[in-house]
Amino acid sequence: MKYRTIGTDPKTRREVSVLSLGTMHFGTATDEATSFAILDRYVAAGGTFIDTADNYAFWVGTQGGESEELLGRWRRSRGAGDEIVIATKLGARPMAPGTSFTDNAEGLSAGVIRESSQRSRDRLGVTRLDLLYAHIDDPVVPLAETVQAFAALVAEGTVGLLGVSNHWAWRVERARALAAGADLPGYEVLQYQHSYLRPRADLPGVRSPDGMPGMLGGDLLSYLRAEPQLTAVAYSPLLKGAYVRPDKLGAAEFAEYNHPGTPARLAALREVAKDAGATVNQVVLAWLIGAEVPVIPLIGASSVAQLDESLAAVDLELTAQQRARLDAAR
């Protein structure tokens, strides 16, 4: 395994593995025994960066909490401690079972931030959340209220690092500027959907007619390049398995990848995979980890075999020629 530092403050920054493990389906679609086996294998391989959210997996008809609860049970049964960094998120939990973050999200008011973070600590069985993200933006609550509420949790020691997900770049910068201006800790880890295939930027998103704020686009990439102390975490880097299952890539869920640049990039990927003696998924992960703006892939896995394939990508060093071939395809 390889490691890198997230965060800047010596009191809260952490060393984490360059591959992060998502647990979105753990405790629901992925049963407890399989989830524990995947977690154990990840830790045995040196993995130290686990991701969840307070609303996983609300889509089964609940308000979520199943993933955090499973992680709490796993931590207790394994005696896991501070060596494992667990990131969670709040703000996108539906206010009632059967609803969604699209129409009924808890949001980012001071009250929600306090209460939901407490619930996450209880479910995970920890006294401090290592990394807490704002899961989605709240267009109603004043940004200053959100910034102050997150900073208060850091000040009292119940949260270590702060992160942000699915916000437009200008909202991230505005929140960080507000925090810096008030000498408060701001968002330092940015979690967005990002992979090798490039999405169309002209399609409306589920929460915005202007596009998909969850996609890592040029605005955010240039921001990360200019602020190298920030960390980029890429969710769904394997496009939920679509690289190796073309039927998935053709589904409506991936409409943003249905454009003429996609076949060219898929062809480059296959060529480089053959040349490197690796799988397509491994090339995608290695491309992200070793990029000029380095990215921590946040993978999902529903079996130990899938995890093993992704873990091997950490040791795959793409040559300059292979990287150039991948970057040139469009």
Ligand X SMILES: NC(=O)c1ccc[n+]([C@@H]2O[C@H](COP(=O)([O-])OP(=O)(O)OC[C@H]3O[C@@H](n4cnc5c(N)ncnc54)[C@H](OP(=O)(O)O)[C@@H]3O)[C@@H](O)[C@H]2O)c1
Question: In whole angstroms, how close is the CB of 320 to ligand X at the nearest point?
Answer: 26
Contact 216, 112 (CB under 8 A): no
Of 87 and 151, the one with the shorter C-beta distance to ligand X is 87
**Residue from the set 12, 116, 236, 262 that interacts with ligand X by CB under 6 A:** 236
Q: 174-203: which residues touch ligand X (CB under 6 A)?
A: 191
If binding is defined by CB under 6 A, does position 235 make contact with ligand X? yes
190 forms bridges with which residues in the sheet?
164, 232
**Residue from the set 301, 314, 316, 318 that interacts with ligand X by CB under 6 A:** 301
If binding is defined by CB under 6 A, does position 163 make contact with ligand X? no
The one segment of 74-82, 217-225, 296-304, 319-327 that binds ligand X by CB under 6 A? 296-304
d(CA 52, CA 66): 10
Sign of the Cα pseudo-torsion (77, 78, 82, 86, in order)? negative
If binding is defined by CB under 6 A, does position 94 make contact with ligand X? no
If binding is defined by CB under 6 A, does position 299 make contact with ligand X? yes
Of 144 and 302, the one with the shorter C-beta distance to ligand X is 302
The one segment of 110-118, 239-247, 252-260, 311-319 that binds ligand X by CB under 6 A? 239-247
**Residue from the set 27, 64, 72, 300 that interacts with ligand X by CB under 6 A:** 300
**Residue from the set 271, 306, 323, 325 that interacts with ligand X by CB under 6 A:** 306
Q: 214-233: which residues touch ligand X (CB under 6 A)?
A: 214
For residue 209, report the phi and psi dihedrals to the nearest 5 degrees.
Answer: -70, -15
If binding is defined by CB under 6 A, does position 38 make contact with ligand X? no
If binding is defined by CB under 6 A, does position 27 make contact with ligand X? no
Of 80 and 152, the one with the shorter C-beta distance to ligand X is 80
If binding is defined by CB under 6 A, does position 309 make contact with ligand X? yes
Question: In whole angstroms, how close is the CB of 182 to ligand X at the nearest point?
Answer: 26
Of 65 and 237, the one with the shorter C-beta distance to ligand X is 237
Pairing outcome for strands 3-6 and 14-17: antiparallel
Token couple for 184: 């408060």
Which residues lie near ligand X (CB under 6 A)? Answer: 22-24, 51, 165-166, 191, 214, 235-241, 244, 281, 298-302, 306, 309
